[in-house]
């Protein structure tokens, strides 16, 4: 498996893969507006780094958006921070380590760019993702949680890359 930037001819396939992964998990709870956002691979590839995992035959297995700094798609404004969004692995190839590889690729990018931390937001049902984030060293940072219009709680996870320790307070676990 290889992780590399998405190619324009893969935009449609990555859009379908991303929507199908989120739909498989969330079903009818998946907001229609968010489906359109998940499917807009061209839009995000124009402003951030969209990475894909492909198998040895070039078949798309998953994708993630690496947000290199403040600006479009960023939930942060610190210049020493980077972010990750829209992690998705095709349901047919889940549980083979693809998700972990995509996360690792973003961590590598953030380290190479000299970032102090890597931030992401997730939601309560995404428990498989939470385990992956925890295993990669991310810790909950409730102070950076967000509540969307309509009340959806976005849980913040942060990976500190500058040697600081993350939030290990009791109750700082998955909410
Ligand atoms: C979250 C998601 C990306 C994980 O992708 P994935 O490729 O299945 O992730 P991994 O294979 O790296 O890890 C998933 C599990 O498989 C296990 N696994 C990994 N490689 C394995 C292998 N070779 N054999 C057996 N199990 C393995 C991992 O340990 C992990 O187990 P756990 O759930 O008990 O912790 C995927 O489930 C998904 O697309 N979900 C819907 C969208 C979503 O929730 N996105 C997160 C947004 S915040």
| Nearest one of 97, 109, 122, 31 to 69, comparing CA atoms | 109
Residue nearest to atom 35 of ligand 1 (CA): 131
- Rounded CA-CA distance 144/37 in Å is 22
Per-residue pLDDT at 30 = 87
Structure confidence at residue 171 (pLDDT): 41
Residue 157 CB–ligand 1 contact under 6 Å: no
Which residue lies with its CA nearest to atom 44 of ligand 1?
126
Cα–Cα distance for residue pair 122/155, rounded to 1 Å: 5
CATH of the structural domain 2-160, one choice from 3.40.190.10, 3.40.630.30, 3.40.50.720, 3.30.9.10: 3.40.630.30
**Tens digit of pLDDT per residue, the chain (175 long)?**
999 999 999 999 999 999 999 999 999 778 888 999 999 999 999 999 999 999 999 999 999 999 999 999 999 999 999 999 999 999 999 999 999 999 999 999 999 999 999 999 999 999 999 999 999 999 999 999 999 988 899 999 999 998 554 444 444 433 3
Phi and psi at 82, nearest 5°, equal -135, 170
**Ligand 1: centre distance to CA 87 (Å):** 10
Structural contact between residues 145 and 153, judged by C-beta atoms closer than 8 angstroms: yes
Beta strands in the chain (DSSP E): 2-5, 49-54, 60-67, 81-89, 117-122, 139-140, 146-147, 153-160
How many Cβ atoms sit within 10 Å of the Cβ of residue 118? 27
Report the relative pairing of strands 139-140 and 60-67 from DSSP bridges.
unpaired
From the CB of 132, is ligand 1 less than 6 Å away? yes
Quote the ligand 1 centre to 79 CA distance (angstroms): 30
Give Cα separations from 105 to 2, 58, 94, 136, 168 (angstroms).
10, 18, 17, 11, 25
pLDDT in tens, 151-160: 899 999 999 9
pTM to 2 decimal places: 0.93
Tens of pLDDT, residue by residue over 13-54, are 999 999 999 999 999 778 888 999 999 999 999 999 999 999
- CA-nearest residue, atom 24 of ligand 1: 96
């Amino acid at each position: 498996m290889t992780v590399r930037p998405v190619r324009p001819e893969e935009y449609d396939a990555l859009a379908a893969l991303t929507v199908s992964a989120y739909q498989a998990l969330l079903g009818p709870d998946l907001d229609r507006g968010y489906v359109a956002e998940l499917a807009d691979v061209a839009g995000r590839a124009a402003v951030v780094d969209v990475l894909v995992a492909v198998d040895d035959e070039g078949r798309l297995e998953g994708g993630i958006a690496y947000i290199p700094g403040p600006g479009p798609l960023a939930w942060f404004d610190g210049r020493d921070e980077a972010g990750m969004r829209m992690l998705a692995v095709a349901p047919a190839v889940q549980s083979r380590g693809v998700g972990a590889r995509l996360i690792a690729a973003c961590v590598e990018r953030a380290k190479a760019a000299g970032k102090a931390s890597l931030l992401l937001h997730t939601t309560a049902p995404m428990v498989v993702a939470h385990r992956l984030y925890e295993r990669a060293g991310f810790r909950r940072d409730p102070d950076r949680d967000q509540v969307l219009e309509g009340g959806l709680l976005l849980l913040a996870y942060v990976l500190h890359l500058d040697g600081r320790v993350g939030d290990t307070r009791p109750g700082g676990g998955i909410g």
